[in-house]
Amino acid sequence: MDTMTENDYLIAWGLYAFAALGCLLVWMRMTRWMWRWLREPLRLLVAVLLFAPTIIDPVKEKYAPAVAITALDLLFKVGNNAWRAISELLMYGMIAFGIYLIFVLIRFPIERASNARKEQAEAARAAARAEDERDAGQPFGGAGDDRYGRPPLPGNPQRMRVEPRL
């Protein structure tokens, strides 16, 4: 019996998905040393290559991995689905990279603002350290304005409290 049942078809796709996920994890491990703006598109490209399906039998609606169909058609000349598989790979690639570009355009200003906040916080900590070093020579430190001799925390909402005088 040479026909594939629905159960065999689902088992084959499950095994392929498991193997493709393993290959993707290995690729992520291999590319973790790279610069982020190179690493992320390469990972996306491999994900598209591994997980893009193409139709092989329009009557039965059977699908197969596009990269496997392309390799089999080009290497062994077993069918005429190579151009369809390549066009579907390009289509899925363009869709994935378009979504990735939108994600990057949203993420870039958020990261820039986060880096600016980190730089401001570091500058405030450096200024506080410089003030502590300056006040170190006084016998009571910087206890002139503070009751307990501790400098107020930067960005502390309790600093804005006004206490009434009697």
Specify whether the CB–CB gap between 146 and 140 falls below 8 A. no
Its pTM surpasses 0.75: no
Residues paired with 64 in a beta bridge? 54
Mind listing the pLDDT tens digit for each residue in 38-84? 999 999 999 999 999 999 877 888 899 999 999 989 999 887 888 99
pLDDT tens per residue across span 82-114: 899 999 999 999 999 999 999 999 999 999 999
Judge whether 159 and 151 are in contact, CB under 8 Å: no
| 152 confidence band (pLDDT: 50, 70, 90) | low
